[in-house]
Homo-oligomer: A and B are copies of this chain.
Amino acid sequence: MYDIAAFGRMIADQGRMGAYSRALQRSIAHGSTVLDIGAGTGILSLLACQYGARKVYAVEPSSAIAIAEEAARANGFADRMECIQALSTDIRLPQKADVIISDLRGVLPLFQQHLPSIVDARSRLLQPGGNLIPKRDVLWAAVVETPRSYDQLMKPWERERFDLNMAAASQIVKNVWKEGRVTPDQLLTKPYRWATIDYLTVESPDVSGEMTFQVERPGTGHGFVLWFDAVLEEGIGFSNAPGQPELIYSSGFFPWSSPVTLDPADAVSVDLRADLVGSDYVWSWETRVHGKDPGQLKAHFRQSTFFGAPLSPTQLRKRGGRYQPALREDGE
């Protein structure tokens, strides 16, 4: 849904916007042709004009593009900035761009059609040797102690609340990841670099890899957090890492099936994968916690957002148009 206040919050985020405007300023030469994918209200396109672009294509599927168009006129850029209400994958351009700018991320860069859109735009709409902003995103993870976030997810479904068995909901909530902000002192391990997405070379939208963590202090592990460092141009970027100045994005909290008491000698391995299926990612994380004795497996969880949505055979039957329940013979 269109939400002007949400666009405002993104623009007000100085960590993000400051980095984008510096990256634009550096990469746009006088006379550049620029493609802005997911232009929103057009702020980056307008800056590109201000920095000397000869032609800017602002491409945005939502009606926010009408704001971009009006702002282009109000700022005297109407002849250089062309606003197109569309998905970038649906357009063709009469000339290739010297620079493509985008921020199609969600909380994490592995989000909806972000990567396929970049791969498509790079191959069809970018000059050979042209520039992409962002250049790359580096994804990091660490094991985290975060009882508050964990309880917020799990507590509502505990038996004690209403003397009801809500295990059906617990099972689902254990297989979702959520936005969650943590501080560096909540980390129980050093960060591990899970993956680097280099936008100039990436082909597949899927990412997978195993991470190993050494526990650094005693505590209770509730799962891990995932975050990214964005490199827009060399030396220009931002990060939603714990401890960094607060951005509009927090990081991703991946809960474990149950909390695990961790000791400094423990090793945690997480096999994490993100597979784009249809319009969004399926995330899977398999966790093993090894104690200090050889062969001691303290915990083993297999979780996936594939199990994070309810499925039921009867729902399909009852879903149809105007299902009418029937009374049984006893009138129930």
Task: State which of B47, B75, B308, B314 has its C-beta within 8 Å of the C-beta of A4.
Answer: B308
| Chain B residues, CB < 8 A from A69 | 312, 314-315
Residues 301-332 of A, flagged 1 when their CB comes within 8 A of B and 0 if not, give: 00000001111101100110111111100011
Q: Are B166 and A71 in contact (CB under 8 A)?
A: yes
Chain A contacts to B: CB under 8 angstroms: 2, 4-5, 7-9, 11-12, 21, 41, 43, 46-47, 50, 54-55, 57, 63-67, 69-71, 74-75, 79-80, 82-86, 90-95, 152-153, 155-157, 161-169, 172-173, 176, 178, 308-312, 314-315, 318-319, 321-327, 331-332
Task: State which of B12, B47, B162, B314 has its C-beta within 8 Å of the C-beta of A164.
Answer: B47
Q: Are B323 and A91 in contact (CB under 8 A)?
A: yes
- Smallest beta-carbon distance A177→chain B, Å: 10
Q: Are B178 and A5 in contact (CB under 8 A)?
A: yes
Q: Are B74 and A167 in contact (CB under 8 A)?
A: yes
- Smallest beta-carbon distance A169→chain B, Å: 5
- Smallest beta-carbon distance A132→chain B, Å: 21
| Chain B residues, CB < 8 A from A164 | 43, 46-47, 50, 71, 75
Q: Are B94 and A156 in contact (CB under 8 A)?
A: no
| Chain B residues, CB < 8 A from A93 | 324-325
Kindly list 17 other residue pairs between chains A and B, CB separation below 8 angstroms, not including A91-B325, A93-B324. A2-B309, A4-B173, A4-B176, A5-B173, A9-B152, A41-B169, A43-B164, A65-B312, A66-B168, A67-B172, A69-B312, A69-B314, A75-B164, A85-B315, A85-B319, A90-B322, A94-B324
Cα distance, A85 to B325, chains bound together (Å): 11
Cα distance, A214 to B287, chains bound together (Å): 62
Residue of B nearest to A12 (CB): B156
Cα distance, A4 to B8, chains bound together (Å): 28
- Smallest beta-carbon distance A201→chain B, Å: 28
Task: State which of B8, B71, B166, B323 has its C-beta within 8 Å of the C-beta of A152.
Answer: B8
Cα distance, A50 to B324, chains bound together (Å): 25
Those 4 A-B pairs whose CB atoms lie nearest each other, nearest first: A66-B312, A66-B310, A70-B168, A8-B156
Cα distance, A225 to B165, chains bound together (Å): 39
| Chain B residues, CB < 8 A from A8 | 152-153, 155-157, 169, 173
- Smallest beta-carbon distance A191→chain B, Å: 25
Residue of B nearest to A13 (CB): B156
Cα distance, A155 to B4, chains bound together (Å): 13
Q: Are A318 and B162 in contact (CB under 8 A)?
A: no
- Smallest beta-carbon distance A195→chain B, Å: 25
| Chain B residues, CB < 8 A from A50 | 162-164
Task: State which of B11, B155, B162, B325 has its C-beta within 8 Å of the C-beta of A84.
Answer: B325
Question: Can you report 22 residue pairs joining A to B where beta carbons are below 8 Å apart?
Answer: A2-B310, A4-B169, A5-B153, A5-B173, A7-B169, A8-B156, A9-B156, A11-B157, A43-B162, A43-B164, A50-B164, A54-B332, A65-B315, A67-B169, A67-B310, A69-B315, A71-B168, A83-B318, A84-B318, A86-B319, A91-B324, A95-B331
